[in-house]
Each structure stands twice: as structure tokens, then as C-alpha cells.
Amino acid sequence: MSEARGGPTPAGANPVALVIGAGDATGGAIARRFAREGLTACAVRRTADKLEPLIAEIKAAGGRAHAFGSDARKEDEVVALVAQIEETIGPIEVLVFNIGANVPSSILDETARKYFKIWEMACLGGFLYGREVAKRMVVRGHGTILFTGATASLRGSANFAAFAGAKHALRALAQSMARELGPRNIHVAHVVVDGAIDTEFIRSNFPERYALREEDGILQPDHIAENYWYLHSQPRDAWTFELDLRPWMERF
């Protein structure tokens, strides 16, 4: 079952931004950005303890935030968590599905078990959360659902068969949901994030790439998050379905 952290439930029915995959970089920045606009940030990772610094930071800035430990691959946990948030915190106005699952492997060495797990993380979880949240948004007649994609959403590179297959599938899911739910006033969008992101992992493992930070050559999480807020804020006569974010020097 899901585990909640973050203090007492805020009074009233403040709208919620539910961020699945609220890690230390992009997901956390997205949660902070929406909290700054007055939404209650509900951040989700496999382990709630890892979210404590993020929740503390949002609250210190005057925002509302809760952390949840849950596995996006497990249908019963997803169903229970969405219901819990809707019943005890507030209506989910925005869903951001931000799970990565970028695990390279030669097709000659890939196992069925790992291939399936990557698909569960990067695609099945998006379907489960998208379905459960959409059920509530349709009743209310509004909402935003944002899926994080990657270069692998558009083309499969060598040694990334599992990741590309899962991200292609997530993009197709987003397309289908946008066409079905757009006429019901629910904005569904897919964000292609192409390039290295300013994270501790890149700094420690790819120092030459990280050095490009001084030239704006890697993506800043806060700048990515700004685009997610932009998508949510768009008027419905000019909704974007797909947004492609990349540093100026990144090759297409």
C-alpha cells in the first residue's frame, strides 16, 4: 500500500499537482514549480523517505506538499493512491508522469524480464495513472496530463531497444488520450526531453559533458519545469500536444 509523508492534510480542496517520478532533478523541479503557483504538490517515488528534502524545501517556501512511496507498476497501489489523494487532499488538477527507466543493453544480452520491467516502469505506469486520474478529470470537465518522453520516444538507438520500445508506447498512449480527452477539456501533452540534464549522475559520470553546463549545453531542471507550467497554462484554443526541449547545441 502507499505510504504518505508530509504532515497534516491542508484544509479545503486545494487543487493538486500529482508528480510521479519526483526525483532529485526534473521531477522535483516540476513539483516545486507547481507548488509555487499555489497547487498542492503530491510527489511520488518508490520510497517516500527520499522525498523528505523536497517536501521540506516546498514548505519552507510557503507551499503545500505531501510525499508518497508507491510502485507505479502495481495497479492496486495506483488505484489506492489516486483515491487517497482525491479523498483526503484535493482534486488532481495536473498529473505529471515522469518515470525514466533508461537502462541500456545490447539486444544480444537483453533479458525478457528486464525488457518487461522497463516497459512496466516507462509505459504501464503511465497508463495506470493516466486512466485513474482521467476518470476524475472527466467528471470535473477539466485537467492537464503531461507525459515525459525522451529521444527514445522518436527513434530507437543501438543498445536501447527496451527503453525505446517503452517510450514509443508511452508516446502512442499520450496521442490516443489527447485525441479522446481533448474534446472533454482535458489537455494531454507529451514532452520530449533530449539531452543531458544537470544532475549529480551526469556530473560524476560524464564530467566532459557536464562541463558544457557553462555554455548552456545541458538542460537545467528548473527550466524544464517552466515548460511544464507553460503547457498547463495554455489556453485551449492553442494547446500544444508535443514539446521538444533540448540545449541549443544538441544534435537532432
pLDDT score, position 205: 85
Per-residue pLDDT tens over the stretch 167-180: 999 999 999 999 99
- Please give the class, per CATH, of domain 13-194+222-245: alpha beta
Per-residue pLDDT tens over the stretch 16-65: 999 999 988 999 999 999 999 999 999 999 999 999 999 999 999 999 99
Cβ-based neighbours of 234, under 8 Å, separated by 6 or more: 187, 240
pLDDT score, position 12: 60
pLDDT score, position 101: 85
Query: What order do you get walking across the sheet with 242-245 strand by strand?
Result: 3-5, 64-69, 40-45, 16-20, 92-97, 143-150, 186-193, 242-245
pLDDT score, position 135: 98
Crossing angle for the helix pair 52-60 and 26-36, to the nearest 10 degrees: 30
**Cβ-based neighbour number of residue 231 at 10 Å:** 20
Instruction: Identify the CA nearest to 6 among candidates 36, 33, 37, 31.
Output: 31
Ranges in the chain, pLDDT < 70: 1-12
